[in-house]
Amino acid sequence: MGTILDGKRVAAELRARLEGRIAALTERNARPALRIIRVGENRDDLAYEKGILKACSLLGVDVYVSALPEDASSGAPLEALRRANADESIHGIMVFRPLPERFAGEAVHAAIDPGKDVDCMSPLNLERLFEGRPGGFAPCTPEAVIEMLKAYEIPLRGANVAVVGRSMVVGRPLAMLLLREDATVTLCHSRTRNLSAVTRRADIVVAAVGRARFMTPEFFGPDAVVIDVGINDDGSGKLCGDVDFERCEPRVGAISPAVGGVGAITSTVLLAHVVLACEGIAKINGCNLT
């Protein structure tokens, strides 16, 4: 039976590390603040927003939501971004993606202030990430995967890691973060030949393919560490991951569940970025945070 990797425990540890830093900022009237920009009422966006609001409440981070209707004008997200960029009381901006097709997504990505871009949407921050240069924030979900692995002291240096999924939201940036940790990374996708043979050889497998229960026991070796990033509707209204958890859990070394796994960490990583951005502004304004 595999070890179940508890994202809620990891998130609680991250929050404990943030509490003192937030208290130091608040004492100096530099309260961290996040602006969320959402278009429409997508169920996944609303679920993620709920998690962020809860995390903000627990930590004492201010959060404001710009909820734009599905039929908002094509320039509405850009205008919301312009206001958030200019608002000195806002330290981090989170835009839920993907935006509906009729909005100019690339223009929105380019418009965000890189210093407030706490989920790595700006082309400048993506460039920094892929070139391995300092500065900017990594995307929250890939960073949450790294936090999960480190919390459970799973060795990354020299490890063979298979990342299944090559999206710019998870797969590709996660590969860059793993390379920073000196892992050997195989980035897999829908056209990978003999995918299960590739993943069976990996020490760590990250499932980010976006298909319900796609990965079954034959995809994993007996000692594999399996990180499931997927959140899918199983067809009956229940949430499930990209991995068939019930079948795979007894046959791998460790595994994260779809609910209470990486997703539980992601919102806390987001707030860690907001706190870091606020600390940077506080230091510029002459606050001593030590």
Three-state secondary structure along 187-256?
A: EECCCCCCHHHHHHCCCEEEECCCCCCCECHHHCCCCCEEEECCCEECCCCCEECCECHHHHHHHCCEEC
> How many beta carbons lie within 10 A of that of residue 255, not counting itself?
26
- Asked: is 140-263 a CATH 1.10.150.120 domain? The reply is no
Measure Cα distances from 265 to 86, 130, 217, 236 in Å: 29, 23, 25, 26
Please compute the mean of the pLDDT values over residues 192-220 and round it to a whole number.
97
Residue 176 has pLDDT above 80, yes or no: yes
> How many beta carbons lie within 10 A of that of residue 192, not counting itself?
16
The pLDDT assigned to 286 comes to 53
- What band does 101 get if pLDDT is binned at 50, 70 and 90? confident
Residue 7 has pLDDT above 60, yes or no: yes
Residue 281 has pLDDT above 90, yes or no: no
Residue 288 has pLDDT above 70, yes or no: no
H or E segment to which residue 25 belongs: helix 7-27
Phi first, then psi, for residue 62 (nearest 5°) are -75, 140
The pLDDT assigned to 105 comes to 74
- What band does 287 get if pLDDT is binned at 50, 70 and 90? low
Selected residue with higher pLDDT from 1 and 65: 65
**In this prediction, what percent of the chain has a pLDDT beyond 70?**
97
Cis, bond preceding 98 (omega within 30 deg of 0) = yes
How many whole angstroms separate alpha carbon 172 and alpha carbon 234? 26
The pLDDT assigned to 98 comes to 84
- What band does 236 get if pLDDT is binned at 50, 70 and 90? confident
**In this prediction, what percent of the chain has a pLDDT beyond 90?**
81
Please compute the mean of the pLDDT values over residues 37-49 and round it to a whole number.
90
Residues 6 or more apart in contact with residue 99 via CB below 8 angstroms: 39, 77, 105, 108
Cα maximum dimension of the chain: 57
Record: fold of 28-117: Rossmann fold (3.40.50)
Q: Do domains 28-117 and 140-263 have the same CATH topology?
A: yes
Q: Which sequence spans correspond to the domains of the chain?
A: 28-117, 140-263
How many whole angstroms separate alpha carbon 31 and alpha carbon 24? 9
Phi first, then psi, for residue 7 (nearest 5°) are -65, -30
Strand partners, 95: 37
Chain centroid to Cα 13, Å, comes to: 17
The pLDDT assigned to 289 comes to 52
pLDDT digits (tens, 9 = 90+) for 105-159: 788 999 999 999 999 999 999 999 999 888 889 999 999 999 999 999 999 999 9
